[in-house]
C-alpha cells in the first residue's frame, strides 16, 4: 500500500521522550521532563477513590461535570475578579494539550497565520500545521526572553488569525507583565485576531508577582481561549485533566471539535478535583511551595559554573552553560546524562530552526533530596 505524504514531514520524536529515555537507560537523575517525583496529596486521591466506590464511573457530561465547572468559575472570580459561565464557557479537557489542539482545530483554516513565540512548547507549531495554518515564529532570546511588541505588530496582516502566548513561560521561566498584556491588547484592538493563552502554570509564580491572565483585560478576554491544567497544579501530570475557558461564541466552536475528539473526561477524577477545589489553599499556596524549591535549587547551584537568572514562574529553571562547554546544547545534555547522571532539556529543541544559545532547562519539581544530589554533580562540572 502506498501511504499518502506525511502531514508532518520531518517531525522528530519529542525531546521529552528522548531525554527521559536516556535518563532511564543510564539511571540518571531526571531533571528533564516536567513532572514531580513526589506524590499527590492523599486527600485528593481519597476523594477520587471515594468517587469510584460510589459509582461515578460512567461517562461524564461532555463539558465536564457541573460541580467542577462551577468550581473553576468560582476560582476565576476569586483570583481575577471576572468569571466564565459554567454552563457554556468552560469545558473540562483531557489535559491542556488536548485543549490547545481542540482550540486550534476549531478556528484555524488553511492559509491562516498564527503568531508563536519561540522557544515554544512543542505541540504549538505542529497543531497549527496539521490544520493547514502557517506558524509565524517570533524568536525570543536569553536571559530575559522579552517580547518586542513592535516586531509583533509588523507581522500582523489580513491573514493573521491568532496569537499564542504562554505565561508563566515554559521553558524559560519568565512571565508576561501588565504592560505586555496591554501591548497585546492594543495590537489586536479593532481586528478579528483571536488569542490562545496557555496558562497551565498560573498558580506557580514567584517573588510576589501577580499572574496576568488575559481574562483581566476586557478586549483580550472577549477574543481568547484560556487553557489550563490540574495536572500541573496538583502534582499529577499523568492524570491528564485540564480545562478551557472562552466566551460563549468561541466555546461553541471549541465544543464542536471536543465532542468528536475525546467527548468526555475521566469522571471520578473530576468529582474528586471539584471537591478538592473547595479548599482554596490547595492552589493559592502553590507558588510559595515551588518558590522554596526554586530557592533551594539556586542556592545549591551557587558554586556551579552555570549562569541562571531566577525563574519567575513555572517549575523550570533556564541555565546558560557557556562557561562549562562550547558544545551544542543537544550534545551537552546527552553527555551530561550519560557521563554525569543528570538529565535536562536542551532549549534549542523549542527554538526556531533549533537556534542554539547554549541554554538548557532544569525541572525543580523534585524532592529536596533529588535536587541536592543533582546539584552536587552539577557543581563539579
Q: State how far the Cα of 35 lies from the Cα of 206, in Å rounded to an integer.
A: 19
CB 134 within 8 A of CB 113: yes
Query: Span 4-27, mean pLDDT?
Result: 91
Query: CA–CA separation, 212 vs 177, rounded Å?
Result: 6
Q: Which of 5, 212, 244, 215 is nearest to 107 (CA)?
A: 244
- CA separation for the pair 62, 254 (Å, rounded): 12
| Its pTM surpasses 0.85 | yes
Residues 6+ apart with CB under 8 A from 344: 19, 31, 32, 319, 333, 336, 337, 360, 361, 362
Tell me the average pLDDT across 228-246.
Answer: 96
The band of 140, judged by pLDDT with boundaries at 50, 70 and 90, is: very high
* The C-alpha cell that represents 201 in the structure block: 502554570
Query: What is the distance, to the nearest Å, from the Cα of residue 91 to the centroid of all Cα atoms in its chain?
Result: 17
Per-residue pLDDT, 234: 97
Report residue 329: phi and psi, to 5°: -65, -30
State the alpha helices, DSSP H only, in the chain: 15-25, 42-53, 66-80, 96-107, 124-130, 149-155, 178-188, 218-221, 230-233, 248-261, 267-276, 281-284, 286-300, 329-335, 368-378
Query: Residues for the chain: how many in total?
Result: 381
Cβ atoms < 10 Å from Cβ of 288: 9
In whole angstroms, give the CA distance from residue 243 to residue 74: 14
Residue 313: beta bridge partners? Answer: 205
Looking at residue 370, its pLDDT comes to: 98
Look at residues 271, 241, 239, 244 and name the one whose alpha carbon lies nearest to residue 255.
Answer: 244
55-104 tens-digit pLDDT: 999 999 999 999 999 999 999 999 999 999 999 999 999 999 999 999 99
Domains in the chain, CATH or no CATH each? 15-40+284-378 (3.90.1150.10), 55-279 (3.40.640.10)
Mean pLDDT of 114-119: 98
Residue 177 C-alpha cell reads as: 507583565
Categorize the per-residue pLDDT at 32 as very low, low, confident or very high, splitting at 50, 70 and 90. very high
| Beta-sheet pairing, 90-93 with 242-245 | antiparallel
Asked if residues 316 and 170 have their Cβ atoms less than 8 Å apart, the reply is yes
Task: Compute and round to an integer the Cα radius of gyration of the chain.
Answer: 21
**Contact at 8 Å (CB) between 161 and 114?**
yes
Q: What is the pLDDT of residue 184?
A: 98
State the first-to-last Cα distance of the chain, in angstroms, to the nearest integer.
52
Rounded to whole angstroms, how far apart are CA atoms 273 and 257? Answer: 24
Task: Round to whole Å and give the CA distance between 157 and 152.
Answer: 10
> How far apart, in whole angstroms, are the C-alpha atoms of residue 53 and residue 127?
38
The mean per-residue pLDDT over the stretch 209-219 comes to: 97
Q: List phi, psi (to 5°) of 244.
A: -130, 140
Q: What are the tens digits of pLDDT across the range 334-362?
A: 999 999 999 999 999 999 999 999 999 99
- Give the model's pLDDT for residue 179: 98
Distance CA 167, CA 363 (A): 17
User: Which of the four pLDDT bands, split at 50, 70 and 90, describes residue 10?
Assistant: confident
325-328, long-range: CB < 8 A, 24+ apart: 325/358, 326/358, 328/356
Quick one: what percent of the chain has pLDDT higher than 70?
A: 100
d(CA 308, CA 304): 10
pLDDT tens across 175-192, in order?
A: 999 999 999 999 999 999
pLDDT for 356: 97
Q: Classify 346 as helix, strand or coil.
A: strand
CB 329 within 8 A of CB 359: yes
Check whether 228 has a pLDDT greater than 90.
yes
Indicate the pLDDT class of residue 13, thresholds 50, 70 and 90.
Answer: confident
Nearest to 295 by CA among 211, 371, 379: 371
What is the maximal distance between C-alpha atoms in the chain? 59
Amino acid at each position: 500500500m502506498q501511504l499518502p505524504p506525511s502531514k508532518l514531514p520531518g517531525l522528530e520524536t519529542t525531546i521529552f521522550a528522548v531525554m527521559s529515555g536516556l535518563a532511564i537507560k543510564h539511571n540518571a537523575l531526571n531533571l528533564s521532563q516536567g513532572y514531580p517525583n513526589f506524590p499527590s496529596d492523599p486527600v485528593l486521591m481519597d476523594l477520587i477513590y471515594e468517587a469510584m466506590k460510589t459509582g461515578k464511573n460512567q461517562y461524564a457530561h461532555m463539558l465536564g461535570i457541573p460541580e467542577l465547572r462551577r468550581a473553576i468559575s468560582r476560582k476565576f472570580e476569586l483570583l481575577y475578579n471576572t468569571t466564565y459561565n459554567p454552563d457554556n464557557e468552560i469545558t473540562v479537557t483531557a489535559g491542556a494539550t488536548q485543549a490547545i489542539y481542540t482550540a486550534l482545530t476549531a478556528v484555524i483554516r488553511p492559509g491562516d497565520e498564527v503568531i508563536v513565540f519561540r522557544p515554544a512548547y512543542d505541540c504549538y507549531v505542529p497543531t497549527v500545521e496539521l490544520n493547514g495554518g502557517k506558524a509565524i515564529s517570533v524568536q525570543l532570546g536569553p536571559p530575559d526572553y522579552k517580547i518586542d511588541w513592535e516586531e509583533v505588530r509588523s507581522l500582523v496582516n489580513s491573514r493573521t488569525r491568532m496569537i499564542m502566548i504562554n505565561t508563566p513561560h515554559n521553558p524559560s521561566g519568565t512571565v508576561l507583565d501588565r504592560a505586555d498584556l496591554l501591548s497585546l491588547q492594543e495590537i489586536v484592538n479593532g481586528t478579528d485576531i483571536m488569542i490562545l493563552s496557555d496558562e497551565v502554570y498560573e498558580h506557580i509564580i514567584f517573588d510576589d508577582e501577580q499572574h496576568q491572565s488575559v481574562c483581566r483585560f476586557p478586549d483580550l478576554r472577549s477574543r481568547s481561549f484560556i487553557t489550563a491544567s490540574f495536572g500541573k497544579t496538583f502534582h499529577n501530570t499523568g492524570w491528564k485533566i485540564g480545562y478551557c475557558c472562552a466566551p460563549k461564541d468561541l466555546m461553541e466552536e471549541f465544543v464542536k471539535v471536543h465532542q468528536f475528539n475525546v467527548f468526555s473526561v475521566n469522571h471520578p477524577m473530576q468529582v474528586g478535583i471539584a471537591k478538592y477545589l473547595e479548599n482554596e489553599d490547595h492552589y493559592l499556596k502553590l507558588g510559595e511551595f515551588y518558590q522554596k524549591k526554586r530557592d533551594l535549587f539556586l542556592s545549591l547551584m551557587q558554586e556551579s559554573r552555570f549562569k541562571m537568572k531566577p525563574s519567575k514562574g513555572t517549575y523550570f529553571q533556564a541555565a546558560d552553560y557557556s562557561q562549562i562547554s562550547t558544545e551544542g546544547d543537544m550534545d551537552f545534555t546527552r553527555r551530561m546524562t550519560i557521563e554525569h547522571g543528570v538529565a535536562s532539556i536542551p532549549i534549542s529543541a523549542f527554538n526556531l530552526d533549533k537556534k542554539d544559545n547554549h541554554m538548557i532547562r532544569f525541572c525543580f519539581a523534585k524532592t529536596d533530596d533529588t535536587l541536592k544530589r543533582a546539584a552536587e554533580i552539577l557543581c563539579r562540572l
